[in-house]
């Protein structure tokens, strides 16, 4: 199997119903930088990239698209050919969409469950306007990309085949456990760079496409400070502080204003492709990550925290 042309999770687009609440959550809890756009949306910055998380106002409160970075124009062409060979329809984004996404060029396509993915190259770097965290947080990004995203899926075998065989993601490991008591499941963790996983597939029966997204601070103290900001602001934690069994991430899971979780972590494992071998875990966490039912009615719960 050919290696993936995809090198990192470059950006995520989210459709959110309360932009003001999201902006406050992003800047005053997470410590990321918010920049208003001309279209009324908000770009969230974690580093020199012009936009890592793109907020679009709308009713879904869910993932709108995943943006996967490739190296250059040749890699984008190669990925386009790879999709065509697998019978997957894709479209060139065109100049207007490329300008909106702040990239040179992109293609878009859908996974077997209908989620929109984009592959792009040439992201705008705003060295003229350096990233400034409103809370002094520095994030681990670079070649490891924005962080990771966990997608819910109904046909996990089809999703695994699409991401590993068609797109060339590498399997890091599986966790076979009951993240929430009474709900056994196998979650699979896929990588496209040194980050243990940029994508995980979780067969959880929730209406949203996204289970959670993860951003990683460079200092463990920033996880502690963010945890206490959540406690001070009475933000519900779906999972308490803990350390994951597979990627060793020390993290906790506040609920976002959209009802799905965000994992705020530090210390994630870096995988060496030359020495890594696929393993299995029966626990989600080495310690901690205790599930906490939301104070709202159970029917409104939208997420399951997996590593």
Where along the sequence are the contacts to Fe ion (CB under 5 A)? Answer: 214, 263, 307
121-155: b (≥16 Cβ within 10 Å) or e:
bbbeebeeeebebeeebebbbeebbbbbbbbbbee
Cα gap 204→211, rounded to integer Å: 8
Which residue, chain included where needed, has tokens 């901690």? 288
Nearer to Fe ion, 33 or 284 (CB): 284
Nearer to Fe ion, 137 or 214 (CB): 214
Shortest Cβ distance from residue 200 to Fe ion (Å)? 7
Shortest Cβ distance from residue 107 to Fe ion (Å)? 27
Shortest Cβ distance from residue 169 to Fe ion (Å)? 16
Nearer to Fe ion, 23 or 284 (CB): 284
Shortest Cβ distance from residue 150 to Fe ion (Å)? 6
Overall residue count recorded for the chain in this entry: 307
Shortest Cβ distance from residue 307 to Fe ion (Å)? 5
Q: Is 151 left (phi over 0), alpha (psi -120 to 50) or beta?
A: beta
Nearer to Fe ion, 42 or 179 (CB): 179
Considering only CA atoms, which of 133, 120, 100, 147 is closest in space to residue 249?
A: 147
Paired tokens of 99: 């300008």
Nearer to Fe ion, 30 or 42 (CB): 30
Give phi and psi for 188, each to the nearest 5: -115, 140
Shortest Cβ distance from residue 227 to Fe ion (Å)? 16
Cβ atoms of 237 and 293 closer than 8 Å: no
Nearer to Fe ion, 167 or 179 (CB): 179
- Determine how many CB atoms are found less than 10 A away from the CB of residue 278: 11
Nearer to Fe ion, 43 or 263 (CB): 263
Residues paired with residue 178 on neighbouring β-strands, in sequence order = 184
- Span between the terminal Cα atoms of the chain, in Å: 27
Shortest Cβ distance from residue 246 to Fe ion (Å)? 10
Cα gap 246→195, rounded to integer Å: 12
Nearer to Fe ion, 103 or 250 (CB): 250
Cα gap 184→204, rounded to integer Å: 10
- Determine how many CB atoms are found less than 10 A away from the CB of residue 82: 17
Shortest Cβ distance from residue 42 to Fe ion (Å)? 23
């Amino acid at each position: 199997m050919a290696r993936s042309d995809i090198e990192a999770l470059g950006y995520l687009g989210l459709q959110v119903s309360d932009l003001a609440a999201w902006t406050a959550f992003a800047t005053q809890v997470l410590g990321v930088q918010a920049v208003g756009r001309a279209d009324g949306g908000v770009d969230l910055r974690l580093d020199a990239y012009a936009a890592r998380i793109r907020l679009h106002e709308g009713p879904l409160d869910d993932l709108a698209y995943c943006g996967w970075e490739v190296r250059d124009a040749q890699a984008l062409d190669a990925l386009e050919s790879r999709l065509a060979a697998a019978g997957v329809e894709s479209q060139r984004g065109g100049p207007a969409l490329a300008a909106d996404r702040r990239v040179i060029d992109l293609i878009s396509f859908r996974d077997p469950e209908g989620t929109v993915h984009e592959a792009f190259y040439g992201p705008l770097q705003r060295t003229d306007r350096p990233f400034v965290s409103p809370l002094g947080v520095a994030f681990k990004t670079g070649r490891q990309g924005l962080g990771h995203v966990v997608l819910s899926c109904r046909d996990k075998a089809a999703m695994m085949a699409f991401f590993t065989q068609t797109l060339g993601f590498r399997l890091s490991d599986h966790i076979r456990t009951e993240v929430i008591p009474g709900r056994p499941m196998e979650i699979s963790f896929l990588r496209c760079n040194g980050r243990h996983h940029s994508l995980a597939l979780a067969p959880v029966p929730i209406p949203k496409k996204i289970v959670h997204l993860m951003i990683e601070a460079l200092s463990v103290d920033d996880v502690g400070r963010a945890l206490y900001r959540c406690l001070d602001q009475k933000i519900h934690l779906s999972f308490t502080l803990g350390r994951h069994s597979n990627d060793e991430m020390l993290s906790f899971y506040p609920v976002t204003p959209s009802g799905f979780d965000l994992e705020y972590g530090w210390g994630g494992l870096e995988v060496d492709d030359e020495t890594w071998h696929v393993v299995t875990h029966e626990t989600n966490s080495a310690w901690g990550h205790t599930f906490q039912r939301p104070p709202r009615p159970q029917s409104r719960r939208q997420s399951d925290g997996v590593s």
